[in-house]
Structure 1
Amino acid sequence: MKKKIAAAALVITLGLSMLAGCGQKAAEEPAVKQTAQESEAVTEEGDGEKKTETANSELSGKITFWTTGDKSNTNDHTYPWMEENIRLFEEKYPGCEVEATFITSGEDYLTKITTEVAAGNAPDVFRTYLTGRLQPFVDGGKVLPIEHMLDTYPETKAIMNDKALALSTFDGKAYAIPLIASGEMFFYNKKIFRECNAEVPETYEELLALADLFNEKGVTPCMLGISDPWPGTIPYMMIFNRLNGNELYEKVVLNKEADFADEAFVNAGQYLQDMVNRNMFNESIVAISQEEAGNKFKAGESAMIIDGSWSVPGFAETLGDDVGIFNLPAIEGGKGSANDWLMNFDEGFAISSGTKNQPVAEAFLAFIFSPERQAAYAETGALIACKNVDYDTSKISPLTTEVMNAFEAAAYSIIPWDNPLGTDVGQELNNTTQAIITGGDPGKEFGKLQEYAEDAWGE
């Protein structure tokens, strides 16, 4: 029987619960942890309690680890945190070594990890995607369930977020731990808005009028980089929701009932193309990456950017109080709401079923998701997926707080489509929106996507 993931039910409630645990007091932690290769020295205390000492030195061996990361990208606060994880893990477990590979491009990473996993060459621990992109790994027996690791490391188990784990759960077993709560939105430069007498738009027509205003002032309205196609799908998904609500999204994207030729998809594509023709975006949109777009926004080269919450630390660090967020406004006559947000749990980490050193792999995964290391990550401004993690909230920016508050108040959460659609159809969707942005006919492009989905899903 085909494995099923509990995503459809989750999407309705995710927005109200995804960040509920962030910044809360940590649950009382067990004093010790053990692995299969760690020994106990147990002595009876007078009150009948047991004192357990862990022999970390008995855990040994080398594992491989793959993830995304770019040392040169100042927006990437995950890279230095992950490097520190590796260093501290090897200090704690002197007999262990982590051979890490960081791949800069998310698109390159998706291609490479999918190829290596399919070929049976997966690294011991690796970043994976969730829902539809994880399912082939699970169906193929390429990843281990994480229950044994969580039972071995109860302090990690104590901070797991069930809502997040639902995105990696198939037939009752979880196969990856999501790292972040992520969402996609408009960021805007408050200084540029003040200088141009611009206001945050409350309607879709006001947003389009901003494109005219900023162009008249010689300012690029909104930065976006689609040399890798996926960022172009962000405004498309927003537009589709505002026009159509969520019923068709759930049918096609979550339930995989191919219907991309429906006029609703085509019409949303036309809206996206109209936005491009209104000169909303930078002329270099196809030539630059989203990382380059982010750097240009930080340098004050545009009034807005459509980007993800993963960029919050870098934007806040560079722009300080001069950066804020808003969601795509409602479209008159549409069924969706400006309080429906694109958000999800993301960046899962899994253990390969082909690992030759499961105890070390489990120890490393547990270390990344220990309360201490998750607190350190949260203090970089990251929106962590784990709950009950105690960290210093004075270290996070007002922008982080603004994003967290917006997510908590969301009426509905939309999982970014390319995740549940899977590696094949999800990538083809991104190619479709890229083609539309560059002038392709929306009807023809979505017709091709429909044919592709029918073939991929066997319809």
Structure 2
Amino acid sequence: MKLNRIFGGIILFTLTFVSVVFTGCSGKEKKHSVELTFFSNLPDRNFGQGLVEQLIIDEFMEENPDIIIKLETLDETAYKTKFHVYCHERLPDIVSVWGQRAFLEEAVLAGKLEPLDSADFKNFGFKEGTLDGFTYEGELYGLPRNTDVALFYYNERMFRDFGWKVPQSFDELFDVAEEIQNHDFVPVGMDGSDGWPLMIFFSDILYDISGKDYRYIVDHAIETHNFSDERILKALNLFCKACSGNLFQKNFTQDDYGAAQNFFLSGKSAMYYMGSWETSMAVNTTYWNEITPYIRVIKFPSINKDSPGKSGVLAWYGGGYAVSADSLHKKEAVKFLKFMFAPERLSRLGLKNAVGISAQNESDFLYETDVPCLTELVRIAESADDYSGSPLNDRGNLDFKYLCEANILRLASGQITPEEFIKLLEREGAY
């Protein structure tokens, strides 16, 4: 028995030695996996944009087994807070970004984002102007995921059953709001506590009043610290009318994103004001089935029939992705972006899962969706003769964004007047 053990040991040693020698002689070593860290603002991986993002990540890793993607997700508010922390430390390899000065500038000036070669994405079907917000001083720092459009979502069955008219003008919006209240429902669910949805709503009003002049009005005001254009004051007064006229739920300035959405999805409100990224509500089976099949959308009801912005729409290219300048695997990170933004992937999956419309040409895939609210969104976007660009709060730097969002809450709750709001932007705006 002892002899057998010795003989067996000799054989094992010999085989091991031969194996090592042949491996060394062949010059082949086992390829180590590259780990890419991915920081995303889409925590829900079962529906909507988070699902689309996850499907692409899974497909990429399947086709590239030598690359592992380690994911970290937070909701948008928490994400932006931690992103600022990362800007003072080490940024993950791939990050969610927004193509707006208020967000992008800080990261670029801190040297945290890697410039991309625009030639690499020349034939990816990006719509005209979509890359502008992700470009800083001539360098491309990110790629836009979607086209964001401000919308009123409404419960089509509720409107039909009660005989309410879908509003086509601002006056009709208030008229139907009164009818809705008379039936003990909330007219419009509004996320007031976060500030930025209120700024989008105000920008919607201002764009309708000013049309294609909107961009000049707001950019000139920010640059000169002069918000005296009469259209700004007019828009603020109409905004206050909406906030004080029982258009939204009681105490809406205290309700966050989830609470406002819940008013709509639980049937407590007939409408809900939010961006086009929420069209996936219509296919989310975790919501109430008696509501979701009847979700429809309209754009902002014009102030009057001659409104300059009537034929346009408040739309911008918001969320997207960038590569970290801190990354040790920039080549692999860019490879992932090329994979993700291949026209047949992000745009197609987005339509298929009803997550709004992308920033790329998606005409080849429109037949793949039969979700009514998404079809209506596509019609709204395609029929518009102008896109506004970013809401007012996102057109300045980060300090300006905070200033706008903090004080629009005070304005909405009646703590300050429109004139005082303007003075605050002019006097305190460090932008």
Give me the TM-score of the superposition, normalised by structure 2. Answer: 0.82
Q: Note the alpha carbon deviations across 1:65-119, whole angstroms, 9 max, x for none.
A: 11112328x7x51112222322222222222222211111x233223213322x1
Distance in 1, matches of 2:267 and 2:61, equals 41
- In the TM superposition, structure 1's runs of 4+ consecutive aligned residues that sit over 6 Å from their partners are none
> After superposition, where does 1:215-294 map in structure 2 within 5 Å?
215-247=181-213, 249-253=215-219, 256-260=223-227, 262-294=229-261
| Counterpart contact for 1:244–1:334, Cα < 8 Å | no
Q: Alignment partner of 2:144: what SS?
A: strand
| Counterpart contact for 2:369–2:375, Cα < 8 Å | no
Q: What is aligned with 2:424?
A: 448
1:388 positional shift = 5.5
| Counterpart contact for 2:151–2:274, Cα < 8 Å | yes
Structure 1 segments unaligned to the other structure (5+ residues):
1-56
> After superposition, where does 1:399-418 map in structure 2 within 5 Å?
399-415=373-389, 416-418=391-393
Letter in 2 for 1:341: V
Q: What is aligned with 2:43?
A: 70
Alignment partner for residue 425 of structure 1, among 395, 400, 405? Answer: 400
1:396 positional shift = 4.0
Q: Alignment partner of 1:325: what SS?
A: strand
Question: Is 2:318 the partner of 1:346?
Answer: yes
Q: Alignment partner of 1:142: what SS?
A: coil
> After superposition, where does 1:134-213 map in structure 2 within 5 Å?
134-147=104-117, 151=120, 157-213=123-179
Distance in 2, matches of 1:70 and 1:285, equals 25
The verdict on how the C-alpha distance between 1:388 and 1:234 changes in structure 2, with shifts beyond 3 A counting, is: closer
Q: What is aligned with 1:370?
A: 342
Letter in 1 for 2:235: A
Question: Is 2:411 the partner of 1:436?
Answer: yes
The verdict on how the C-alpha distance between 1:316 and 1:406 changes in structure 2, with shifts beyond 3 A counting, is: farther
Question: Is 2:64 the partner of 1:93?
Answer: yes
| Counterpart contact for 1:62–1:96, Cα < 8 Å | yes
1:283 positional shift = 0.9
Distance in 1, matches of 2:188 and 2:65, equals 49
1:280 positional shift = 0.6
Q: Note the alpha carbon deviations across 1:15-63, whole angstroms, 9 max, x for none.
A: xxxxxxxxxxxxxxxxxxxxxxxxxxxxxxxxxxxxxxxxxx9684112
Alignment partner for residue 387 of structure 1, among 361, 375, 381? Answer: 361
Q: What is aligned with 1:322?
A: 294
1:157 positional shift = 4.4
Question: Is 2:54 the partner of 1:83?
Answer: yes
The verdict on how the C-alpha distance between 1:330 and 1:88 changes in structure 2, with shifts beyond 3 A counting, is: closer
Letter in 2 for 1:230: W
Distance in 2, matches of 1:197 and 1:388, equals 36
Distance in 1, matches of 2:272 and 2:324, equals 37
| Counterpart contact for 2:147–2:315, Cα < 8 Å | yes
Q: Note the alpha carbon deviations across 1:249-308, whole angstroms, 9 max, x for none.
A: 423337733223555433322222221221110014123222332232122111111111
Q: Alignment partner of 1:185: what SS?
A: strand
Q: What is aligned with 1:110?
A: 80
1:342 positional shift = 0.9
| Counterpart contact for 1:244–1:336, Cα < 8 Å | yes
Q: What is aligned with 1:307?
A: 274
Q: What is aligned with 2:27?
A: none
Letter in 2 for 1:412: D
Which structure is higher in RCO with an 8 Å CA cutoff and minimum separation 6? 1
Alignment partner for residue 372 of structure 2, among 372, 387, 398? Answer: 398
State the aligned residue count: 391
Q: Alignment partner of 2:131: what SS?
A: helix
Distance in 2, matches of 1:333 and 1:427, equals 34
Distance in 2, matches of 1:249 and 1:439, equals 27
Letter in 2 for 1:436: L
Letter in 2 for 1:377: G
Letter in 2 for 1:209: D
1:398 positional shift = 2.1
> What is the percent sequence identity of the aligned residues?
21
Distance in 2, matches of 1:65 and 1:389, equals 29
Q: Alignment partner of 1:272: what SS?
A: helix
Distance in 2, matches of 1:360 and 1:239, equals 44
Distance in 1, matches of 2:336 and 2:251, equals 41
Structure 2 segments unaligned to the other structure (5+ residues):
1-29
Specify the structure having the higher radius of gyration (Cα). Answer: 2
Letter in 1 for 2:224: E
Give me the TM-score of the superposition, normalised by structure 1. Answer: 0.78
| Counterpart contact for 2:36–2:329, Cα < 8 Å | yes
| Counterpart contact for 2:202–2:236, Cα < 8 Å | yes
The verdict on how the C-alpha distance between 1:259 and 1:115 changes in structure 2, with shifts beyond 3 A counting, is: farther
Distance in 2, matches of 1:449 and 1:246, equals 23
Q: What is aligned with 2:14?
A: none
| Counterpart contact for 2:43–2:50, Cα < 8 Å | yes
